[in-house]
Every structure is written in structure tokens, then in C-alpha cells.
Structure 1
Amino acid sequence: MERIHSINPTRIAWCCADHGMTTGDLAAELGIAPASIERVMDGEGGMTFNQLSKLAEYFGRGVLFFLEPGPVDEDHVHTLAFRTLANQKPELTAKIKKFIERVEHQRSVFLSLRDELSNQDLPQFTAPDLPRDNPREAARMARGWLNLNGMNTFDTYRDAVEAQGILVFRSNGYNGKWQIAKENPILGFTLYDPACPVIVVKKQQWEPQQSFTLMHELGHLLLHRASSIDDENDMQSHRGLERDANAFAGHVLVPDEFLAGIDDTNRPGDVAEYDTWLDRERKAWGVSGEVILRRLLDSGRLSQRQYAAYREWRSNLVIPEGDSGSRAYRHREPKHIFGDTFVRTVLNALSGRYITLAKASSYLDGLKLNDLHQLERHYAGV
């Protein structure tokens, strides 16, 4: 079988270093003999086109990337937002890096389709001017900007953010390219862009946790006008930009007027009963008991000892593993992952014949033809 010998080994080496792997690891991933990879790296061997295609797909690059001469220009290959996230968390796994690049690709797809559909009323992002040194006032203004009311869930918070021209993606619970693994500490990230920012929220067992992540990332986006990637430690941080984002999220989800309605005289003595005490508020506001208690703590209405005891109790709870669920509604999964704005845009482009069925499928997590038509009927209300 004919082999391609004009492969640039420095680009393979750069990709391996970028993903924190050796050429031996790469050979195992691609199912190629290590000796064959080593000959390519020494400039003495070649690859079949199929092998080169597998290499390119694995690293998320085009085939031509590995045929071009010269070293990699990292500023050209990775966007500023990507480099910002990678610098914040140098320990990012190769899977998370690929995930970020796929998100950036989806945003490029969306912007391209939005240009094609310029005659349709799609939300445009215009950042409000919020005070960075006053999270309480910033949150008050943001709630007005988002048109939030007193009853919310993660879905209504997401819809409100998307209505302001921000794409909101949520990782998939199923194993695949749109999943952030359960054991990975990353909870969310934001890719700042003045024209079309993207917020990504990790799917978690409880939706109130996702609501806090969403508003934390929105805080970075609106207050700091910067990209950010966050884990559990960041969501509990009391320092710098993370402190600001946490305070902003807390005040958006539980503003002072909400907090005023909580009767401290009914607070139980046992921290194990706090969630029951706050059950009505948790359900109405779509938040966790911990977020409310944190606001009570910051307002001087709960002691640090009580808050710490509650967190200790929560950390020791045994949470049963959730059912993996049925994929009978496979056609709706793209909406759960990419949000309503993105999916509607793809479907409008398809109905306007700006893109093919094959393109629409690739943009919507590889939906099969039958599922794609089901999704169309779902949006048509049929």
C-alpha cells in the first residue's frame, strides 16, 4: 500500500507534547506499531492515508496540518481563549482540551449560520456595564438584564442567559465526545468573545449545582470580560476573581429580598434538617441549600460553625448512583447539550437549504436521519 513520506514529524511531536503523551502512547491509541511511528519521527518512514487520517482525527486537526513544513505556530493553532484556559489549569487533560476545541468549533459553526440567516431575529450579545467592585449591585442589575422572576430552574436560567446572545452548552451524561467525565474536577468554563461568548456547564446529578456553575461563569463573563475554567475549589474560593464570581452568583440566585423572606426562628438545631427547612425556597429559586446557607452566612445570619457543620454533613451523604437512563429521546439530546438557540439556528439553516442534512447531523451530535426528523417535528410542535 502506498505510503505518504512528506509528513512533518515536528508537528506530531508538538501534538504529543500538547496532549501530554509520548509517541509510544500515540502508537497505542492509533493501533500502529511503535517502530513504525519511530521511523516517521526519524524521517525514515511514512504512513498510509488511512493512518494519517486517524492521526489527524485523533488530534482534531486536518490531514494537511501534518504535511505542512515548518514548526507549529501555537498562536495560530490555539485561540487566545484556549490558551487562557490552558494557562489557568496546566493540568488539563487531553480530553478536556479536545472538548474545549470542539466547543470553539461549534461556536464558529453558529456564527457562520447566523451570518447566513441575517434576516432572522437571533439574539445578539451586548454586555451590560456592571460595577466590578460591587457584586451585590452587579447581580441586581444582571437580574434585570436577564428578566428573571421569583421562580426558576436551571432551564429557565439557561434560557434567560441565551436570550442575551450567550451560547450555553451543557456536557452530556452519556459517554462520548460531549461528556466531561464524572471524576474530572472541572465544573464549567466560559470562552469570552465580544460577539458571541460561550458558557459550558458540566452535567451534574443535581440541577441546582448546575445553576450555580452557570451564574459563576456568567460572573466571569460580565464582570471580568475574560475566559475562565473552574473546578470545585474555585466554586468555594474567597480570593480575587473567583471570590467576585462566587459572590455575583450567590446574589443573582438569592438576592437580598429573597433572603429577607427566610424566618431564622424556624431554623432547626440539627444541620441534617436544614435542607428540609429550606425546601420551599430551594425548589422555588432552583438553588441548593448550600447556596442559601452561604448567603445567610455572608449576611451574618448563620455562624461559620453552623455552615461548616452543614457542609461536613453533606460531604458524608451517600448519594445513590443515578440510572443511566433511556435514549428513547435521542432526538432531544442536542438541545440539552447545545441549547435552544444553537439547535434552532441549525434547523432554520437546514429548512432554508443553507446546509445539507449531513451537515445538520454533524452539527447536532451526529443525529441519525430519523432522529433529525423527529427533532424537526418536536420543534414544530407536531
Structure 2
Amino acid sequence: MLKVNGKMLTWAREDCGLSLEDAALKLGYKDSKQSSAAEKLLHVEKTGEISKSSFTKAQTTYRKPVLTYYLNEPPIPTSVGEDFRTPESASDPRQNNIVKAILSNVVARQSMIKELLVTEDEVQHLKFIGSLNMSMEPETAATKIRKLFDITLTEYRKGTDYGRSFNYLRKKIEAKGIFVLIKGNLGNYHSDVEVGTFRGFAISDEIAPFIVINHQEAKSSRAYTLLHELTHVLLGKTGISADVGEDKVERFCDRVASLVLLSDHELKYFSPATELFSQLSKDISDFALAKKVSSTQVAYRLFQLHKITSSAYRKLCKFYYEQWLSSKKAERNKDGGGPNQNVIKKSYLGGIVDFVHRMFESGAISSTQAGIVLDTHPTRLGNFFNNATPH
């Protein structure tokens, strides 16, 4: 028998427009001499005690994330914010339905974390949320972000690994109270969402701001996407983004994110060889690696500065995209030896692991609730907590 919030069971049922009688039938309850099926479901909703089989049926029938049933209050319906994608980006019905399910899961997760911060008296109103505005020059906004999050480009660019640079940036942002999650499916690769449909998602909230990055995003572009979504948070604009955005807010976020990592001044003195395409693509790739930005981003900026032609830019985009596809294919074809799936999942969750660990140790949440937030079985929590930051 499971223990959930009965009030949330009632809300989920009513939100689907189901009566007690109809829902009881769908959840498998039957009339008996002692009570009707509807009365049995009413008892479950009052006590919050429900069998595993009935709970599984409730999830399917009510179409709500598991996290929902452990909240004290329903998540705010408008919290998914604005859709900043182009119509083309949101045109695939199947992919779009998966995106909706991902966002529903993220919103429920954010609601639970926010609720924990409030009930455990750990609320710190983050005054910098909404501190940017669209009237700012992108250069000014970029400088403000570097200062606010103590981002040092020298440190960011150390080494030859894009992953290290992303982690440096992520830790700086999480240290300020923003949760950063990497998620682009519903728990298996069959539900992977392409970056063209969903690149990132931002919840701009003063108590528990969230940033989500699609795990399909190229590692060389994750820092840029993180900063793009961070700009959304600082603008006070909750919403979803795709690979291409034509909205003025998207263009502003793109420009700011790019400038945080690479100034126009630095690009001014970069003059790649343009005679041979092979040399041009290599020069840009080498420069991009040194600055820890994507080659496509550098090519776009060079095009904006009229340092390369539009045809060269299009050819470069195609070339780098094909390179990325080849690297993805090679990664999929690796025979074992890759990182443990628990390690991958933990890295995707980031600072959420430490937060849940601390809440679990203090008794604020049960092992079941901790497992739900971390999307793992309660018996496997040790795999996540063994190397969590001690408190």
C-alpha cells in the first residue's frame, strides 16, 4: 500500500473531468456488499492510501506525473509559461506530446522542491530574478551575468574538454540557487526529443528557478543553451525554447548568451583563412575549442560581422552538423566501457541530488519521495547519495 496526498488524487481526477463513479470504474474498483466502487475511491482520496496497482492505473487515467500526488497543492497551470518556438519547431504532434509530458514532470518536480524550501524554512528570495529587461543592450546584460555569477572566462576556457567548461558554468549558476536539469526524454531513448523541437526550458521563480537542457544538445553547445535559458530566468520569462527562435525575446537571449562566452572584441581580431573551405572550417573549429563555444556559433558571429559570406556560413553549418551526427553515431556504437547509467543520470540531475540528499537526511522527505524527485527506485538512493556533497 502506498501513501500519497489524497487531496491531489481528488484534484487529478476532477482536472480530468471524471466523476467518482467513472474514475472508480477506470481504476478497477468494484461494488461490494459493504460499499460501492465510488465509496471505495472516496475513501482512498480521503486517506491517501492506495494500492500499487490502483496507483498505476490512476497515473495512466489522470495523466499526471507521479510527483504530482506528493505535492501539498496543485502546480500552477500557467507555470509552463510562453512557447518561444517557431510554428515549424512545434509541428510534430508526437514529439510535441512528449515535450508536454517532460514539462509536466519538470513543473511537478519544481513545485515539490519549492514546497520543501518553504516548509523547511529555507526560502531565500532571489532578487536577481527578473533583473534584466529587453531595453538593455545585450553587451550590458552579458557583463551583468558574468559579474552576478562570478564567471571568469579564463577559468571557463581551461583544458580541452567542453564538459568541464559546462560543469564550471553550471556550478556557478547552481551556487546562486538555480536548479539546472538535463532532460530530453521520458526515461528512455525511444522518447528522445530532437533539439529542433525542444532545446531548453526555463522557470523564472524567485524561490526555486529551474533550467532544463535537452540532453540531445551537442556538448559544445550546452553552455550556450544554459546561458540562453538563464537569460530567460533573469528576464522573468518562463517558457520553452527550440533550436531556432525568431521571437524578439529569443533573439535577445541568443545574443546575450553568445556575448557572455565570446565578445565582439575577441572576434574582431580573429581572421580565419577563407580561400580553402577545409582550412576555414579547421580554423573556426580550433578557435571555437579554445574559447569553449560551438563552431557553428563562431561561424554565425563571423557571418554577422561580414567576415564570411552567407554561402560559406551555410556550408559550414552543414559541415558541422554532419560532424555532430557522425560523433553521435560513433558514441552509440561504442562497445561497453561507457559511463555507468547511474553516473549519467546523476550528472543530468546536478545540484538536485545534493538538495534531495539533504532533505532526506533531515527527514523532510521519505525515501519514496526522494526516489520520485530523482527518478529512481528508493532502494537505489545510495547510488546517488554516496558521492553527494556532505552537509
What TM-score do the two structures reach when normalised by structure 1?
0.71
Shift, 1:288, TM fit: 0.6
1:372 maps to what in 2? 381
* From 123, 133, 138, the counterpart of 2:141: 138
5 Å-filtered alignment, 1:225-374, equals: 225-234=236-245, 237=246, 239-262=247-270, 264=271, 266-317=272-323, 319-320=326-327, 321=329, 322-323=331-332, 329-340=340-351, 342-369=352-379, 371-374=380-383
8 Å contact 1:171–1:180 — kept in the other structure?
no
| Aligned sequence identity (%) | 17
Contact 2:195 / 2:214 at 8 angstroms: preserved in 1?
Answer: no
Amino acid at match of 1:126: F
Q: Deviations over 1:80-129 (max 9, x none)?
A: 12263499858573322121111111112222333355469x89462373
List per-residue Cα deviations over 1:114-156 (Å, max 9, x = no partner): 3355469x89462373352311221121122121122342222
Structure 2 unaligned blocks of 5 or more:
1-9, 19-25, 29-36, 42-50, 69-73, 158-164
CA distance in 2, matches of 1:354, 1:53: 23
> Is 2:108 aligned against 1:105?
yes
> Contact (CA 8 Å) 1:131, 1:137: kept in 2 or not?
no
What per-residue deviation string (whole Å, max 9, x for no partner) do you get for residues 295-350 of structure 1?
Answer: 2222333333322231233345552512276686344344323222x211111112
Q: TM-score, normalised by structure 2?
A: 0.70
Note the aligned Cα RMSD (angstroms): 4.3
Contact 2:65 2:108 (C-alpha < 8 Å) held by counterparts: no
Query: Where do 1:1-382 residues align within 5 Å?
Result: 53-58=55-60, 59-61=62-64, 79-82=77-80, 84-85=82-83, 93-118=96-121, 124=126, 126-127=128-129, 129-133=131-135, 134-150=137-153, 151-152=156-157, 153-171=165-183, 175-176=187-188, 180-182=192-194, 185-204=197-216, 206-223=218-235, 225-234=236-245, 237=246, 239-262=247-270, 264=271, 266-317=272-323, 319-320=326-327, 321=329, 322-323=331-332, 329-340=340-351, 342-369=352-379, 371-379=380-388
Q: Is the 8 A contact 1:96 1:180 kept in 2?
A: no
2:195 touches 2:216 (CA, 8 Å); kept in 1?
A: no
Comparing 175-184 with 289-298, greater Cα deviation is found at: 175-184
CA distance in 1, matches of 2:186, 2:338: 9
Q: Residues of 2 paired with 1:328 and 1:279: CA distance?
A: 26
- Say if 1:187 and 1:202, in contact at 8 Å, map to a contact too: yes
Question: Shift in Å at residue 289 of structure 1?
Answer: 0.8
Q: Which residue identity is paired with 2:226?
A: L
Q: Decide whether the 8 Å contact of 2:75 with 2:111 is kept in 1.
A: no
Deviation at 1:257, TM superposition (A): 4.0
Q: In the superposition, relative to structure 1, how do residues 306 and 185 fare at CA in structure 2: closer, same or farther (>3 Å)?
A: same
2-side partners of 1:102 and 1:62: how far apart? 5
Deviation at 1:203, TM superposition (A): 0.8
Q: Residue 284 of structure 2 aligns to which amino acid in structure 1?
A: L
Q: Aligned letter for 1:339?
A: G
Amino acid at match of 2:102: F
Structure 1 residues 228, 205: closer, same or farther in 2, change over 3 A? closer
> Secondary structure, in 3 states, of the residue corresponding to 1:208?
coil
What code does the residue aligned with 1:229 have? I
Q: Deviations over 1:165-197 (max 9, x none)?
A: 221111167843996434872111112223322
User: In 2 relative to 1, CA 349–305 (structure 1 residues): closer, same or farther, beyond 3 Å?
Assistant: same
Q: Which runs of 5+ in 1 are unaligned?
A: 1-6, 16-29, 33-44, 66-75
Whether the 8 Å CA contact 1:172–1:178 is kept in 2: the answer is no
